[in-house]
Amino acid sequence: MDIEKIYKAANAYLEGHFLLSSGKHSRFYLQSAKVLEDPKVAAKLADELAKLINGANIKAGSVCAPALGGILAGYELARALELRSIFTERVDGKMALRRGFSIAKGEKFIICEDIITTGGSALESARIITELGGEVVAFAALANRGFCVRYGSNKSAKPTCKLPNDIPFFALEDFEFEVFEPSECPMCKNGSKAIKPGSRGN
């Protein structure tokens, strides 16, 4: 499955001059909400991710996604694996489990995101699950930005990856984009201004 082609066809693989949440600038940005806009495409991607997880013989009872970005991917993955789907969300900046979702003691979870950059939100979700008595058996995402290492890859994780290295991480593709400090950004040097993705119709 050509994930890059699917992202490009959905206008989810953006080219321009972007200000990332890290404060750095990039020529490219993945807008996963666009690839998940078509439920048929979302189902196809989740089915493929489920195949990887089943292929590694991972057994879980539930999928948990950090809101907002992970919810659609997590829900579709749960459908594909025939598991329960829940999500955590931020309350005053802190990740929490709300809405009456409960966790059984020893219940096994897959934490699912749309994209894993450093895995910070996924890790926060995982901490809540374990604090409440669950067990995290895998992390999953449609796309990996190349800071963490996906299952089956022989690359090594960057120091900024926050995912634990003793729990497998499944993703469909690596997208490693060069990022720049604003002071060293070649697009800035050419006089263009970085925009926040999602802020101007992208």
Binding stretches for Zn ion (CB under 5 A): 25, 185, 187-188, 194
**Spatial distance between the Cα atoms of 135 and 118, rounded to a whole number of angstroms:** 21
Beta carbon of residue 32, minimum distance to Zn ion (angstroms, whole number): 22
Q: Output 17 or 150, the one with its CB closest to Zn ion.
A: 17
Q: Output 39 or 182, the one with its CB closest to Zn ion.
A: 182
Cβ partners under 8 Å of residue 111, min gap 6: 63, 64, 65, 66, 122, 125, 126, 129, 136, 138, 139, 140
Beta carbon of residue 35, minimum distance to Zn ion (angstroms, whole number): 25
Beta carbons of 148 and 163 less than 8 angstroms apart: yes
Residue nearest to Zn ion (CB): 185
User: 28 vs 43, 44, 64, 109, 179, CA distance in Å?
Assistant: 25, 24, 28, 32, 9
Q: What is the DSSP letter of 195?
A: B
| Coil, helix or strand at residue 127 | helix
Beta carbon of residue 178, minimum distance to Zn ion (angstroms, whole number): 12
Beta carbon of residue 145, minimum distance to Zn ion (angstroms, whole number): 18
Q: Output 43 or 188, the one with its CB closest to Zn ion.
A: 188
Q: Output 18 or 139, the one with its CB closest to Zn ion.
A: 18
**Spatial distance between the Cα atoms of 6 and 155, rounded to a whole number of angstroms:** 24
Beta carbon of residue 115, minimum distance to Zn ion (angstroms, whole number): 21
Q: Output 131 or 178, the one with its CB closest to Zn ion.
A: 178
Sign of CA dihedral 107, 113, 118, 124: negative
Q: Output 23 or 133, the one with its CB closest to Zn ion.
A: 23
**Spatial distance between the Cα atoms of 111 and 141, rounded to a whole number of angstroms:** 8
Beta carbon of residue 181, minimum distance to Zn ion (angstroms, whole number): 9
